[in-house]
Amino acid sequence: MERRETVAKLVVAVLFAGTVVATAETRKEFHFKVHRRASVSVANQFGPIWVKPSSGEEVVVTAILHSDKVEVDHTYSLNRVSITSHLLSGADAESGRVEYQVLVPADANVTLHSATGPLRAERLHGDVILEGNTANVDVRDLVGGHVHVKTLNGPVTLTNVSDGHVEITSVGGDVALNSVNGPLVHVNSTSGRIVYDGDFGGGGEYSLMTHTGDIEATAPSYASIDVMASSTEGKVENDFPLQPTHTSLAAKAGSAFAGTMGKAASSVRLLSFSGKIHLKKR
């Protein structure tokens, strides 16, 4: 009886140890000294990348590798840091997964690639380039840098982004812009829904275009815009009393409108080929 118990305990212990080994994650940390406006790029096929500002002139990369079928390669020269997940033979989306948390000087230019994501960048003021297939992209609290996002189907959310060029290209991902202002804000989508909630400030050029997706733009009554909206096959709706303006766009009730509000500081173009467009008053 006693012997049976001992064997059972042994089996449990072996199973437990096996489970621990199987699920063991490896944590790696890299430190790189950099100067002003460093370039930092991270390419990770499977898994999230989260970039935040560091306190000094240093790039700190923390990587959690989910198996030994993936390695982290890095290149460091002068002011450029490049991190790449290197998939080894037999790696798949699970075993090849790496989770990155990257701390960079706030003025660094950052480029992130991940097929699955999510990708997140916050509180930076350098240029930020994010690319992913299905990756969920979340950018927040960026000032002064350009933001370029490309996804196939990953949804894109920008919150509190100002004073830089914002360019988003997504085939099918929904795009949400909350308090996004700048000299140029451009969204190009095929089937994604585009939602803008802000004041179209900064005297910028705002262009939201999609083929079949809907566009919903919400602005306060004090917005200063020269707006034009058109849907070739869909409907348009406008909550604002617009002043007529001279435009080449033929205003058609229900499918196109154009006009100005306030001093018309910013230009706003809302264009969908077959989706609905709604300019809403907040």
Partner 1 sequence: MTCEEFGRVLPELEGDHHNNIEQEKHLQTCSFCSGLVSDLNAISAQARLLAEDQEPSLRVWNSIALALRQEGLIRDPQVSARLLGSRLGGWKLAWLKPVTIALVVGAALLLELQRIPRGTPVAQQAATSVPVIGSADGLSQGSAIDADQVQLLNLVASRAPAMRAGYESDLRAVNAYIRDAETSVRNNPNDAIAQQYLMNAYEQRAMVYEMAMNRALP
Residues that bind partner 1 (CB under 8 A): 37, 39, 43-45, 84, 93, 109, 111, 113-115, 126-127, 129, 131-134, 146, 148, 150, 152-153, 165, 167, 169, 171-172, 183-184, 186, 188, 190-191, 205, 209, 211-212, 230, 232, 248-249, 271, 273-274
What count of residues does the chain have?
282
Nearer residue to partner 1 within complex by CB, 53 or 183: 183
Min separation Cβ 7 and partner 1, Å: 43
Smaller CB separation from partner 1, 66 or 146: 146
Pairing of strands 80-87, 194-197: unpaired
Nearer to partner 1, 127 or 214 (CB): 127
Considering the complex, what minimum distance in angstroms separates the CB of residue 260 from partner 1?
Answer: 18
Smaller CB separation from partner 1, 113 or 120: 113
Enter the tokens of residue 139: 């950018």
Q: Which is nearer to partner 1, 10 or 142 (CB)?
A: 142
Which residues have CB under 8 Å from 92's CB, separation 6+? 69
Q: How far is the CB of 5 from partner 1 (least distance, A)?
A: 46
CA 183 – CA 121 distance, rounded (Å): 21
| Cβ closest to partner 1, residue 164 vs residue 198 | 164
Q: Which one, 120 or 146, has the nearer CB to partner 1?
A: 146
Nearest to 118 by CA among 166, 155, 83, 162: 155
* Nearest approach, Cβ of residue 121 and partner 1 (Å): 16
**90 CB-contact burial (10 Å; exposed 0-12 / middle 13-18 / buried 19+):** exposed
Q: What are phi and psi of 21, to 5 degrees?
A: -65, -45
Question: Residue 250: CB partners within 8 Å, gap ≥ 6?
Answer: 256
Q: What is the C-alpha separation between 227 and 267, in angstroms, rounded? A: 6
Tell me which residue of 276, 275, 184 sits closest to 238, measured CA to CA: 276
What is the nearest approach in angstroms of partner 1 to the Cβ of residue 30? 18
Q: How far is the CB of 220 from partner 1 (least distance, A)?
A: 25
Considering the complex, what minimum distance in angstroms separates the CB of residue 174 from partner 1?
A: 14
CA angle 263, 267, 268 (to 5 degrees): 120
